[in-house]
């Protein structure tokens, strides 16, 4: 009964995966059908030891990933702390803060590109009108500013997930603990340090690891906003893989990049399962 579904999964997922791993050990070019000789670890050796572009894009991928995840966690934690107690309009606030997560990436990035436009963009228009800047800020055309821009939009996209998970963790903490701490003279900061943070350490670890995996592997957020520009300054690993395969026609080289990404993701996945297992044992 499960054979048809298994065949589809094998055809759609496992065969491309195995084929991609096999291509990483060859010298295959889609524009040269007769190519494909076995070269062993030559592609990986070139990537890791002599490809300056790969090291630069890998470095920015790490900076982008940990910046987005770190900022998302901080913002999500603050908002979760604000929304954990009863307050008027709490359901409305939760819905509004959740919108960046549920909006389609293509819609969100299209709107951001218009907001950041240097001529007709709303943000530049407001900043110039109130006199904070004299000329438009090149949010998407300046290499340094573009990096901060994609980090900011990535944070905007990801903080709702952090907020929801942390909020669930906060609401699972017994109120009696805070009441006892208050009676003993503990203020907000001591309660935060000795009760809140230790109690949500498990869910925090899991959601951070998941966000690292998703953000590092994310393609559409940057590609739809900047196409990796200007001057390839916002290239991350998925975009570099895409350009290498389909614009530079280096299929095997792109496969080697993808395999390196796969190894990194497997490492984070093992950490995730480790924390998940520990949380289940604690329960």
CB atoms within 10 A of CB 193: 11
pLDDT of the residue at 156: 94
Task: State how far the Cα of 25 lies from the Cα of 258, in Å rounded to an integer.
Answer: 12
Is the pTM higher than 0.85? yes
Task: Please give the tally of structural domains in the chain.
Answer: 1
> CA–CA distance from 270 to each of 217, 263, 277 (Å)?
16, 11, 11
Q: Which residues, listed in sequence order, are joined to residue 32 by a DSSP beta bridge?
A: 29
29 is a domain residue: no
| Residue 28, φ and ψ in degrees, nearest 5 | -110, 135
222 is a domain residue: yes
Which pLDDT band, with edges at 50, 70 and 90, does 270 fall under?
A: confident
95 is a domain residue: yes
Over residues 13-27, the mean pLDDT reads 87
CB 100 within 8 A of CB 159: yes
Q: Which is more confidently placed, 72 or 274?
A: 72
pLDDT of the residue at 15: 84
Please give the residue range of the domain that contains residue 130.
43-282
Task: State how far the Cα of 264 lies from the Cα of 242, in Å rounded to an integer.
Answer: 18
Which pLDDT band, with edges at 50, 70 and 90, does 67 fall under?
A: very high
20 is a domain residue: no
221 is a domain residue: yes
Over residues 179-201, the mean pLDDT reads 86
Which residues, 6 or more positions from 65, have their beta carbon under 8 angstroms from its beta carbon?
212, 215, 216
50 is a domain residue: yes
Q: Write down the mean pLDDT value for the chain.
A: 87
């Amino acid at each position: 009964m499960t054979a048809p579904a298994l065949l589809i999964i094998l055809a759609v997922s496992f065969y491309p995966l195995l084929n991609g791993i096999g291509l990483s050990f060859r010298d295959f070019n889609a524009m040269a059908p007769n190519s494909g000789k076995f070269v062993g670890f030559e592609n990986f050796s070139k990537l890791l030891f002599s490809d300056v572009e790969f090291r630069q894009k890998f470095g920015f991928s790490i900076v982008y990933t940990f910046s987005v995840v770190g900022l998302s966690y901080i913002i999500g934690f603050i908002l979760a702390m604000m929304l954990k107690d009863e307050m008027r309009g709490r359901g409305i606030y939760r819905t509004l803060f959740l919108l960046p997560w549920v909006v389609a990436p293509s819609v969100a990035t299209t709107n951001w590109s218009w907001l950041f436009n240097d001529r007709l963009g709303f943000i530049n228009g407001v900043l110039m009108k109130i006199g904070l800047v004299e000329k438009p800020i090149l949010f998407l055309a300046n290499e340094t500013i573009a990096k901060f821009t994609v980090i900011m939009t990535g944070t905007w996209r990801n903080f709702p997930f952090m907020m929801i998970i942390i909020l669930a963790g906060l609401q699972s903490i017994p109120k009696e603990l805070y009441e006892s701490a208050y009676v003993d003279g503990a203020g907000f900061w001591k309660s935060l340090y000795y009760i809140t943070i230790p109690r949500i350490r498990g869910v925090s670890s899991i959601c951070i690891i998941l966000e690292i995996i998703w953000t590092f592997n994310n393609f559409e957020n940057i590609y739809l906003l900047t196409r990796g520009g200007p001057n390839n300054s916002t290239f991350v690993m998925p975009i570099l893989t895409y350009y290498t395969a389909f614009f530079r026609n280096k299929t095997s080289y792109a496969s080697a990049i993808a395999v390196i990404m796969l190894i990194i993701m497997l490492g984070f996945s093992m950490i995730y399962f480790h924390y998940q297992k520990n949380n289940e044992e604690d329960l």
